């Protein structure tokens, strides 16, 4: 299960350490106060509404924008005082891939590898490995202009991985991918984390992020949510989806259990009930089964990250 706890900012932890970072553009305060830690061997989601400062934060982590205040450490190095050290250890996958339209997919990866001081033979070998890793072997010798949006995303991921970085920043990596490619991406991301890499993934596809992330950072109006706010969001009720072959019997059993009829929503053949956490859900399921109700589905209607996103966004709008 994904948690959304912030870890204490320890500059010696490795991975990514962000402490009280701020960045403005004139009178626009894109990032006001961001602090979080992403440790090696984990996948951390970066979530928040549009305009929350996620892209600005990612650009600062990638050493492309300098913060006005605060500090950043990537694999223990300062992106602006030790830029070369950071870039040699960092893989950056932007939301939109910029590429030379007439150059082949293979050459794009080979040239990227050469930029990291690999010799020709090593760069060519690494490009071949990456082509297999991101499933672009069939298009290796095609110009990048023929690639679809999803294929460009895979090429962008390949470019980010070409120098085997310790830290990866992935901005909307699932955008444009078909279901098979999304499943492949999830598997690859988890594999990279198991190898000890640190991954920060920014995405609006929270269901995808829920399946690959170990934790998350919530950013809104340029400020990261506190550990207390995240804890409160986990404790709030969320809807659970319940399916039975006998919906009438299920509804009657829920009412008999003390759930108000107006609190039971219907979604096609399923009923939705708000419950306070997994313990309450487990207890209700046991009572329903004990009452002889045939249950075929009993699960949260939204994932952990979507629940946190909705709850924190609702809290801010009050």
Cα distance between residue 53 and residue 34, in whole Å: 10
Q: Which of 58-72, 74-88, 232-246 has the lowest mean pLDDT?
A: 232-246
Q: Which two tokens stand for residue 68?
A: 């006005």
At 6 the pLDDT is 42
Q: What is the pLDDT of residues 257-293, one digit of tens each?
A: 999 999 999 988 899 999 888 889 999 999 999 999 9
Q: Which structural domains are found in the chain, ordered by start?
A: 16-225 (3.40.50.300), 235-317 (3.30.70)
Q: What is the pLDDT of residues 129-172, one digit of tens each?
A: 999 999 999 999 999 999 998 899 999 999 999 999 999 999 98
Q: How many Cβ atoms are within 10 Å of 246's Cβ, its own excluded?
A: 12
Q: How many Cβ atoms are within 10 Å of 100's Cβ, its own excluded?
A: 12
Cα distance between residue 268 and residue 13, in whole Å: 48
What's the mean pLDDT when you consider all of the chain?
89
Rounded average pLDDT over 88-117: 92
Q: Which two tokens stand for residue 44?
A: 């951390």
At 235 the pLDDT is 64
Cα distance between residue 17 and residue 15, in whole Å: 7
At 181 the pLDDT is 86
Q: Which residues are CB-contacts of 184 (< 8 A; sequence separation ≥ 6)? A: 135
Look at residue 295 and give its three-state secondary structure.
strand
Assess contact for 65 and 20: CB atoms under 8 A.
no
Rounded average pLDDT over 49-75: 94
At 288 the pLDDT is 96
For the cut 80, the answer to whether the pLDDT of residue 237 exceeds it is: no
Cα 108 to chain centroid, rounded: 26
């Amino acid at each position: 299960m994904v948690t959304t706890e912030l870890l204490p900012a320890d500059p010696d932890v490795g991975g990514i350490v962000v402490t009280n970072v701020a960045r403005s553009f004139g009178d626009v305060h894109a990032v006001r106060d961001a602090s979080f830690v992403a440790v090696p061997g984990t996948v951390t989601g970066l979530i928040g509404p549009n305009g929350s400062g996620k892209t600005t934060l990612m650009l600062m982590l990638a050493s492309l924008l300098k913060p006005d205040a605060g500090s950043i450490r990537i694999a223990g190095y300062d992106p602006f005082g030790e830029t070369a050290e950071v870039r040699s250890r960092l893989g950056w996958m932007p939301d939109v891939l910029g590429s030379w339209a007439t150059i082949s997919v293979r050459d794009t990866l080979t040239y990227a590898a050469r930029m990291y001081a690999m010799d020709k033979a090593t760069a060519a070998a690494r490009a071949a490995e990456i082509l297999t890793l991101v499933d672009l072997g069939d298009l290796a010798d095609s110009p990048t202009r023929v690639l679809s949006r999803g294929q460009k995303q895979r090429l962008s991921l390949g470019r980010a991985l070409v120098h085997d970085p310790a830290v990866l920043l992935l901005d909307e990596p699932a955008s444009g991918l078909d279901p098979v490619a999304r499943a492949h991406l999830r598997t690859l991301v988890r594999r990279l984390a198991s190898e000890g890499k640190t991954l920060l993934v920014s995405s609006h596809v929270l269901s995808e992020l829920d399946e690959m992330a170990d934790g998350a950072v919530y950013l809104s109006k340029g400020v990261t949510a506190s550990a207390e706010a995240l804890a409160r969001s986990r404790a709030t009720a969320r809807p659970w989806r319940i399916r039975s072959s006998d919906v009438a019997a299920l509804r009657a059993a829920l009412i008999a259990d003390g759930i108000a009829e107006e609190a039971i929503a219907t979604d096609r053949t399923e009923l939705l009930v708000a419950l306070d956490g997994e313990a309450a859900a487990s207890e209700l399921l046991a009572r329903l089964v004990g009452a002889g109700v045939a249950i075929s589905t009993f699960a949260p209607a939204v994932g952990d990250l979507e629940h946190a996103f909705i709850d924190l966004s609702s809290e801010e709008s009050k």
